[in-house]
Amino acid sequence: MSEHTITVAGVAVDTRHWIGGERVAGGETFTDVSPIDGATLGEIARGTAADAAAAVAAAKAAFPAWAATSYEERARVLHAVADGVEKRLEELAVVETADNGALLRSHRRGVMPRVAHNFRFFADRLLELGHEDFDTRGHTNHVSWDPAGPCVLITPWNAPLMLATWKVAPALAAGNTVVLKPAEWSPLTASLLADIAAEAGLPAGVLNVVQGYGSEIGDALTSNPDVRRVSFTGSVPTARRIAASAAPNLTPLSLELGGKSPLLVFGDADLDLAVELAVEQYDNAGQVCLAATRLLVEEGVAEEFTRRFTDQASRLVQGDPRDEATDIGPNIHPAQLEKIDGFVRRALDAGARAVVGGHRGEGQYYAPTLLTDVAQDSEIVQEEVFGPVLTLQTFSGEDEAVRLADDTRFGLAATVVTGDPGRAARVSSRLVAGTVWVNCFFVRDLRAPFGGSRHSGVGREGGDWSFDFFCDVKNTVTAPKGWKHHG
């Protein structure tokens, strides 16, 4: 085994970058630690500006050939990548659980199958891509999607491989080459993806992986004039820095940012369903951008809702995410745990009441928490915590419900629980959100657009929207006359 290979949950993982079809060690390293027990997983290659430049150069060199590759061949390779993911699904699941602390059962049953589906979906969608020609005064308009060029994809730690491939798959399908920069708190499955892609026959340089700290290599990636697209999922402050870095080159950006999504429970709702959806917001230890962390409940049912919620939340099992019985695992990093605890302590000091939780657990675990008696303009209501912390407020009538729901700087998602279809339609139309779920949560179809409004993001991805972003969309207009005949 190479000195640059570590073993995580019995799986060998190369700790070096993947640039131009080769492993590159670089100089310095950073330590990757498991949130489950604080154990060191390994020393990971710490990228430099030179590594970032080399990765972009490799992507640029590989671009012409990959862009010229037929749709059918691109789709074949992406399906082969999906085959490789499915073949190594268990390895990917156990490594990612060790790396970011999310539930192993979720990785096995939902997350890693979705990784494979990301590749299959965009491979198939590519073969369907097109627009009917249309006529303008006898002239023919033909719309085409041209590959844009090298793309920098910067991905988060809460669902590392799934959210990476949500970007990698359409970028590659579109004929672009990619430099993937995974989050430093969860880099391991990106390295495994590089191996899988190479084994599937993806040409050298088409996918590159550079590990390290965004503060050290982010600007070198996003300011590079050879980069034609930047797609980022993460925090608003980091998005601002990326946008400023990309601005001199007018590099198009797709930004999927944070949220402070509401869950509106009306008096005519199925309360059992409402409680079930509310408790579901603790999924992944609350580290979900879409999570409906603000529970808004109509006054007449608030007391009963709270009683049922408290009862159901008390049954959640918090512990080792590798245990099938566990419902909530650890938070990703001591710094994140401190951030979560700080939010809660400041809220309690300001007069909030912890109906559920409100304190740390052992290690990097934070107790599922529900806070009441919170003001609409308070920090805990307005700012994203990104942990297992919910707030509960009451409202009287649709107008107040919508006013409270829309009264943050975010607009990623919203959930509405009601027994009245008319109310569902009225309220949904007034909510500022990229996605609204009615009597359900987290139902995602890759054909649908996904993104946020306000500070929750810029742009939409998914389905044809992904191709619109990752391509230069061209319209060719041809006159009906003017051809010379060659005999």
Residue 260 confidence (pLDDT) above 80: yes
Domains and CATH numbers, the chain: 5-257+452-475 (3.40.605.10), 262-438 (3.40.309.10)
- Give CA–CA dist 160/284, Å, rounded: 12
Q: pLDDT digits over 320-374, tens only?
A: 999 999 999 999 999 999 999 999 999 999 999 999 999 999 899 999 999 999 9
Q: Which of 151, 155, 164 is nearest to 194 (CA)?
A: 164
Residue 87 confidence (pLDDT) above 60: yes
The residue-averaged pLDDT of 278-297 equals 96
pLDDT at 126: 96
- Give CA–CA dist 380/389, Å, rounded: 9
pLDDT at 1: 64
- The average confidence (pLDDT) of the chain is 96
Residue 486 confidence (pLDDT) above 80: no
pLDDT at 484: 77
pLDDT at 3: 87
pLDDT at 487: 55
Q: Which of the following is catalytic: 96, 151, 184, 289?
A: 289
471 is catalytic: no
* Alpha-carbon separation of residue 267 from 160, 279, 289, 301, 362 (angstroms): 38, 18, 27, 6, 38
Q: pLDDT digits over 151-186, tens only?
A: 999 999 999 999 999 999 999 999 999 999 999 999
pLDDT at 312: 97
Q: pLDDT digits over 53-80, tens only?
A: 999 999 999 999 999 999 999 999 999 9
303 is catalytic: no
Q: How confident is the model at residue 27 (pLDDT cuts 50, 70, 90)?
A: confident
Predicted TM-score of the model (pTM): 0.95
Residue 130 confidence (pLDDT) above 60: yes
pLDDT at 2: 79
pLDDT at 51: 97
Q: Which of the following is catalytic: 256, 298, 384, 461?
A: 256
pLDDT at 318: 96
Residue 245 confidence (pLDDT) above 60: yes
Q: Which residues contact 305 (CB under 8 A, 6 or more apart)?
A: 265, 271, 274, 275, 278, 297
The residue-averaged pLDDT of 424-444 equals 97
Residue 305 confidence (pLDDT) above 80: yes
- Give CA–CA dist 473/266, Å, rounded: 44
Q: Parallel, antiparallel, or unpaired for β 11-14 and 457-458?
A: unpaired
Looking at the DSSP bridge assignments, the partners of residue 391 are 294, 371
